[in-house]
Amino acid sequence: MVRAFVGDSTITRLFGIGAQLTPPGVAMSISAVVSPPLVTVAMVSKYIALEGVDGSGKSTVAQALVARLIASGETAILVREPGGTALGEVVRGLLLDSERLDDWAEVFLFAAQRSELAREVISPALESGTWVVSDRSYYSSITYQGRGRGLGEDKVRAINEIGLDGVVPDHVFVLDVEPELALSRQEDPDRIGREGVEFQSAVRASYRGLANAEDKVVLLDGSLSADEMASKILEIVR
């Protein structure tokens, strides 16, 4: 089996080169085309993150997506952030239930749980060819802490990327919903969800900026049904 490092765009290029060099009908071994460092190249682009403001409905879409992948014979897991490991669930409580938290402490707690989740759960799943659908990712930290809290999107991105060590989503789908509408759907908002419309509007603007700047960040019309969104996502990722 051809194996690739997660999120490494050079892999795509290398596959491209391989395809050109291989005559039709001849099976290609990637290790014959590529020189030594690329011995274990794996699966391509199976890490999908769902993003959006609080109440945007991403959890429902994430569940629909995993169900559809499994129904089509794939292996897929659903993870959530913050959470997903024993430490992650404890940190989730600290992050969402504390009365108050220093802004930078918030950044580092999100980053700490995420780093463990990446190494203990996401990376092994991807290595075994399993799809990973994540309800939030470090893009939430970039938007919520970087823009919402005003700490700086680049700084927050950099802090997170240190701990992730390349285990980053291949696709980021943002459910684009008016914050007023999204918040009105929330029955029992958590500490960050209680920040209000202005905060969530900054978060939304940040997501939109990221979608403009990065090809892998795609905005989805939040008025579609969860099933319609899952179909759109599958069209793009497969």
Question: What distances in angstroms separate CA 111 from CA 22, 164, 173, 236, one per listed residue?
Answer: 43, 9, 20, 28
Question: CB 232: neighbour CB atoms within 10 A?
Answer: 16
Strand partners, 173: 50, 218
Ranges of beta strands (E only) in 125-165 are 131-135
Nearer Cβ to ligand TYD (19/180): 180
For ligand TYD, the binding residue among 165, 180, 190, 198 (CB under 6 A) is 190
Among 45, 46, 62, 110, binds ligand TYD (CB under 6 A): 110
Q: Does 174 bind ligand TYD (CB under 6 A)?
A: no
177 lies in the site for ligand TYD, by CB under 6 A: no
Stretch that binds ligand TYD, among 66-74, 134-142, 163-171, 216-224 (CB under 6 A): 134-142
Q: Is 146 in the site for ligand TYD (CB under 6 A)?
A: no
CA distance 193 to 199: 9
Minimum separation from the CB atom of position 36 to ligand TYD (A):
37
For residue 7, the surrounding DSSP H or E stretch is: none
In whole angstroms, give the CA distance from residue 37 to residue 122. 23
- Is position 136 an interface residue for ligand TYD (rule: CB under 6 A)? yes
Residue 160 CA, chain-centre distance (Å), reads: 13
172 versus 192: smaller Cβ distance to ligand TYD: 192
Contact 55, 193 (CB under 8 A): yes
Do the Cβ atoms of 160 and 114 come closer than 8 Å? yes
| 206 contributes a contact to ligand TYD by CB under 6 A | no
For residue 54, state whether it binds ligand TYD (rule: CB under 6 A).
yes
Contact 186, 64 (CB under 8 A): no
For ligand TYD, which is the closer residue by CB, 89 or 190?
190
Q: Which two three-digit tokens encode residue 71?
A: 């129904």
Pairing of strands 171-176, 47-52: parallel
Instruction: Find the shortest distance in angstroms from Cβ 114 to ligand TYD.
Output: 7
Instruction: Please tell me whether residue 200 binds ligand TYD under the rule CB under 6 A.
Output: no
- C-beta of 84 vs 125, nearer to ligand TYD: 84
Nearest position to ligand TYD, beta carbon: 144
Of residues 6, 61, 76, 82, which one binds ligand TYD by CB under 6 A?
Answer: 82
The residues that touch ligand TYD, with contacts defined as CB under 6 A, are 54-55, 59, 81-82, 96, 110, 135-136, 140-141, 144-145, 190, 192-193
